[in-house]
Amino acid sequence: MTRTPDSAVRSFIDQHQAAFLADLSEWLAIPSVSADPERAGDVRRSAEWLAAKLRGTGFPVAEVWETDGLPAVFAEWPSGDPSAPTVLVYGHHDVQPAAKEDGWDTDPFTPTVVGERLYARGAADDKGQVFFHTLGVRAHLAATGRTAPAVTLKLLIEGEEESGSPHFADLVRREAERLAADVVVISDTGMWSETTPTVCTGMRGLADAQLDLYGPDTDIHSGSFGGAVPNPAQVAAELAAALHDDDRRVAIPGFYDGIVELTERERELFAELPFDEAQWLRVAKSYGTRGEAGYSTLERVWARPTAEVNGIWGGYTGPGGKTIVPSSAHLKLSFRLVAGQEVEKVREAVRTWVAEQVPEGIRYELVFPGATRPCLTPLDHPALQSTVRAMGRAFGQKILFTREGGSGPAADLQDVLGAPVLFLGISVPSDGWHSVNEKVELDLLAKGVETAAYLWGDLAENFRPGA
């Protein structure tokens, strides 16, 4: 395999950057807000625009895929080498709601370049990061003289990610045969900072729960009955307090079963990041750190499972007093999961724990509205190392490692396709995802293009499925 010439890649990107940005701006001008039913037509228009542009890029297959909600886009460009790995790139073309009156300096759907920044809703999340793959594959071909990518390249660009991906798992299962891949690349993520390029190696999963507690059939007089019957609000408070032990570990038996523990190398790599805890607290609008004993702040939010009380309510909350034993109380809980934890096993552990904790005389209902599995790619995985090398060539410096504390649809792809997940993103915290004045740094966008141009050749040379 001939190494893609760096100078040829950069020259191609420089020559075509203006046209690339013009096309991206045209796409960003489509207000594909999936959360707004009145914008459903715009989401469809966005999908059709992208499919047409991918065909123009050279993808022989580019289709709009229907779901029970809003459409996704699928594209495929086979490699000329039958032994080459197949790579599936995931992103999304829908965006968060935005309006000038929200506080934007410019119209969010009138893409505007100010200095070296492009401002628009979706500039970073996620149209910009999807679109850099179109120029990246063209640079890869031009620099190597190939007529097809070094890998079989597939794209799946969702239309409902900003609405919680309600139909995504069903779509992946339905189209699993056509989506089959040896590697999944997620381009809906970011880096540590403008000066510290990083690769994310995993995301936590999520399991939600709601616990409804019922005592008396109605609110009753606390003077006549208080202290003699169980109080649902008191039980809710006791359950919330019992979630953690004195070391802030989740106290539900079996909760930690099977988890993949942090390695010492991973802890060392996390410690290399220029983490400013005081600044992090300012971003968190908080006044102190607190969490599982024995772990740093970054380790807690990236690599440890959690249990959180998202809401607790019941009884009287109006002005003045109302001396009652309330008839009901409620808890909303969420559990962030890490690699090795199985959603159903965690749910069963929670069910057993709740049954043991709730006292006689309290009826309850425990429901689990939804869940997302965690995903993790080991540091020594050859496909991950290809990503690190490609990024290192583009940025000309050492690439560090992060994880994501949140959750996303990556695990659905990993579970159904059985492929490792790689994260390739160039967005930085200042890009303002979901906020006013969302932007993307143009120099970093070009680095994303360059990374993609190098990645396909590196994967073809260094990663063989099943090896």
Which one of 3.30.930.10, 3.40.630.10, 1.10.10.10, 3.30.565.10 gives the CATH number of domain 6-203+374-462? 3.40.630.10
Q: Phi and psi at residue 36, in whole multiples of 5°? A: -105, 110
Model pLDDT for residues 64-110, shown as the tens digit of each residue: 999 999 999 999 999 989 899 999 999 999 999 999 999 999 999 99
CATH 3.30.70.360 fits 205-259+305-372, yes or no: yes
What is the per-residue pLDDT for 372? 86
- How large is the average pLDDT for residues 43-55? 98
How far, in Å, are 63, 247, 459 from residue 76 at the CA level?
9, 50, 17
What is the per-residue pLDDT for 466? 67
- 330 and 211 Cβ atoms separated by less than 8 Å: yes
Strand, coil or helix: what is 306? strand
> 348-371 burial, b if ≥16 CB within 10 A, otherwise e?
ebbeebbeebbeeebebebebeeb
Model pLDDT for residues 239-263, shown as the tens digit of each residue: 999 999 999 999 999 999 999 999 9
How far, in Å, are 66, 201, 232, 268, 435 from residue 87 at the CA level?
22, 17, 52, 30, 32
Helices (H) and strands (E) in the chain, counts: 14, 19
pLDDT(120) > 70: yes
**Across all residues in the chain, what is the average pLDDT?**
96
- 181 and 105 Cβ atoms separated by less than 8 Å: no
Lookup result for tokens 């890649």: 9
Count CA atoms closer than 13 A to 324's CA, side-chain side.
20
Q: What percent of the chain has pLDDT over 90?
A: 93
What is the per-residue pLDDT for 105? 98
Domain segments of the chain as ranges? 6-203+374-462, 205-259+305-372
Lookup result for tokens 């100010």: 114
What is the per-residue pLDDT for 467? 60
- 440 and 427 Cβ atoms separated by less than 8 Å: yes
Residues 6+ apart with CB under 8 A from 454: 4, 6, 9, 140, 389, 390, 393, 394
**What are the tokens at 400?**
């560090």
Q: Exposed, middle or buried by CB within 10 Å (0-12, 13-18, 19+), for 35?
A: middle
What is the per-residue pLDDT for 370? 80
Dist CA 264 CA 287 (whole Å): 29
Q: Phi and psi at residue 6, in whole multiples of 5°? A: -60, -45
Model pLDDT for residues 1-47, shown as the tens digit of each residue: 456 679 999 999 999 999 999 999 999 999 999 999 999 999 999 99
What is the per-residue pLDDT for 429? 92
What is the per-residue pLDDT for 1? 46
Over the Cα atoms of the chain, what is R_g?
25
Dist CA 429 CA 222 (whole Å): 51
Dist CA 302 CA 273 (whole Å): 13
How far, in Å, are 57, 92, 233, 357 from residue 35 at the CA level?
29, 14, 35, 39
Determine the residue type at 235. V
**What are the tokens at 60?**
């022989």
Q: Report which of 239, 243, 252 is spatially closest to residue 212, judged by C-alpha positions.
A: 239
What is the per-residue pLDDT for 432? 93
Q: Could you tell me the maximum CA-CA distance found in the chain, to the nearest angstrom?
A: 87
Dist CA 134 CA 137 (whole Å): 6
Q: List beta partners, residue 309.
A: 333
Can you state the angle between helices 127-144 and 6-28, rounded to 10 degrees? 150
- How large is the average pLDDT for residues 266-285? 95
What is the per-residue pLDDT for 255? 98
**What are the tokens at 37?**
């039913």
Strand, coil or helix: what is 183? strand
Lowest mean pLDDT among 4-8, 79-83, 318-322, 418-422: 4-8
Q: Report which of 400, 183, 152 is spatially closest to residue 274, judged by C-alpha positions.
A: 400
